[in-house]
């Protein structure tokens, strides 16, 4: 690999043979050099024929670590083409998953906004019967969180009502230096930052069905001040997402 902004993701839990190839250069109609991030050949429409799915991007001229244009192209055996534009970002990856149990794989695409540790924009598309349909994705979990006296923090997950406490005394010197605490007491009420999904990928949930797993990072007074990770599992039925379960992990035991 010449450029590390490229991420090629393998398909997940596939029931048929799928071919994925890596990154190679392409030439766009406007003459600007672009790249094919990944190519997948599989049946996406349910007609028994193999379609070709391309995930492509065009880097900025002066910053090859950022893709100013990201899109998917699908070509059918009959020569029909589907073009799906996505938002710009640092990198992109796609995976396949039969999210609704109809026996036809949908396409999950993640566009990374700030690299691997940043947030993502996610897209889920069905191409059943050759028709492009954008499906919804789960919304990030709503949470309430704040620092407390005694170098502690508290996090409440709204959908479940569960509350978690964190002992942050190991960061005492750091917080005192930045003026967050004085003699163990907060100088002013301060909330934690609840980030959007940094990961959203296929998983088999505790229900035994395929779904999605998301990870949200909870940070303190800076992006590097990681307090916890909230891992959520979701199932999709009848056009709606249902939260299956949540797991809260500290920065030290993220898996």
Residue 144's alpha-carbon distances to 147, 245, 249, in angstroms, are 11, 18, 16
User: Of 118-122, 213-217, 251-255, where does the model show the most confidence?
Assistant: 213-217
Burial class (CB in 10 A: 0-12, 13-18, 19+), 208: exposed
**CA 229/CA 166 separation, integer angstroms:** 12
Say whether both 120 and 188 belong to one domain.
no
In a domain, 9, yes or no: no
In a domain, 123, yes or no: yes
Structural domain containing residue 214: 143-253
pTM for the model stands at 0.83
**CA 180/CA 225 separation, integer angstroms:** 13
Residues 6+ apart with CB under 8 A from 9: 38, 93, 94, 95
In three-state secondary structure terms, 25 is: strand
Q: Of 104, 135, 166, at which residue does a domain stop? A: 135
In a domain, 119, yes or no: yes
Number of domains in the chain: 2
pLDDT of 146 reads: 98
**CA 36/CA 206 separation, integer angstroms:** 36
Q: Does residue 8 surpass a pLDDT of 70?
A: no
pLDDT of 78 reads: 85
């Amino acid at each position: 690999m010449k450029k590390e902004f490229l991420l090629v993701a393998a398909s997940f839990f596939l029931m048929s043979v799928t071919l994925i190839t890596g990154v190679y250069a392409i030439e766009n109609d406007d003459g600007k050099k672009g790249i094919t991030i990944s190519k997948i050949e599989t049946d996406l429409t349910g007609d028994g024929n193999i379609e070709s799915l391309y995930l492509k991007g065009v880097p900025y001229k002066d910053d090859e670590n950022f893709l100013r244009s990201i899109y998917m192209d699908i070509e059918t055996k009959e020569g029909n083409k589907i073009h799906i534009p996505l938002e710009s970002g640092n990198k992109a990856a796609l995976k396949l998953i039969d999210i609704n149990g109809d026996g036809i794989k949908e396409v999950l695409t993640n566009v990374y906004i700030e690299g691997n540790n940043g947030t993502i924009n996610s897209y889920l598309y069905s191409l059943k019967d050759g028709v492009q349909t954008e499906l919804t994705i789960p919304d990030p979990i709503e949470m309430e969180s704040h620092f407390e006296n005694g170098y502690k923090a508290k996090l409440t997950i709204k959908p479940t009502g569960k509350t978690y406490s964190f002992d942050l005394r190991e960061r005492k010197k750091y917080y005192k230096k930045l003026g967050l605490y004085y003699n163990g007491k907060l100088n002013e009420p301060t909330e934690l930052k609840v980030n959007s999904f940094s990961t959203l990928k296929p998983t088999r949930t505790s229900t035994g069905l395929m779904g999605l797993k998301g990870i949200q990072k909870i940070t303190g007074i800076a992006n590097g001040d990681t307090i916890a990770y909230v891992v959520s599992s979701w199932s999709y039925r009848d056009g709606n997402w249902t939260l299956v379960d949540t797991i809260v992990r500290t920065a030290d035991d993220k898996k």
